[in-house]
Amino acid sequence: MAVHRDPHDADPGDRWVEARPGEIRTGAPPDPSSGSGVGTSTASPRAGGRGEGASVTAGLLLLLLVGVALVALVAQNTEEVRFEFLAWDAEVPLVVLLLAVALATLLLDHVVGWIWRRRRRHLRASSPR
């Protein structure tokens, strides 16, 4: 894509529009009389700048930090605690109880979210437009 025209522009002439996601612009806006589109580049952001590679690195760093925090949680919460729920009674390490509650919360959140989205889609589909 060389020159982008703004559909809302009253003047039908060329108008410089901000780069789209994934598009790198170099140089000045193109000269409308040349029609060559010089000044734009659709090179991959990975080629020489901060593109998807930076977000992958940030994601791995975040994953590493969460892993370190999880190891610290496990190391500091090894004492046995008594767990009672309805007819169940058990003594488990505190970290096991904490992780089980976190997992149950995550699963419950996904199930409720799925039900909520399904209900909204059903209501949108059945409502007159």
In angstroms, the Cα distances linking 108 to 13, 96, 115, 120 are 55, 18, 11, 18
Question: Per-residue pLDDT tens for 103-121?
Answer: 999 999 999 999 999 988 8
User: Please, where are the H alpha helices in 1-129?
Assistant: 52-76, 94-126
Q: Please report, rounded to a whole number, the percentage of residues in the chain having pLDDT higher than 90.
A: 23
Q: Give the residue-averaged pLDDT of 49-56.
A: 66
Helix (H, G, I), strand (E, B) or coil at 65: helix
- Residue 1 — pLDDT band, cuts 50, 70, 90? very low
pLDDT above 80 for 8: no
Name the more confident of 59 and 51.
59
User: Please, where are the H alpha helices in 77-93?
Assistant: none
Name the more confident of 42 and 32.
32
pLDDT at 70: 87
Name the more confident of 104 and 4.
104
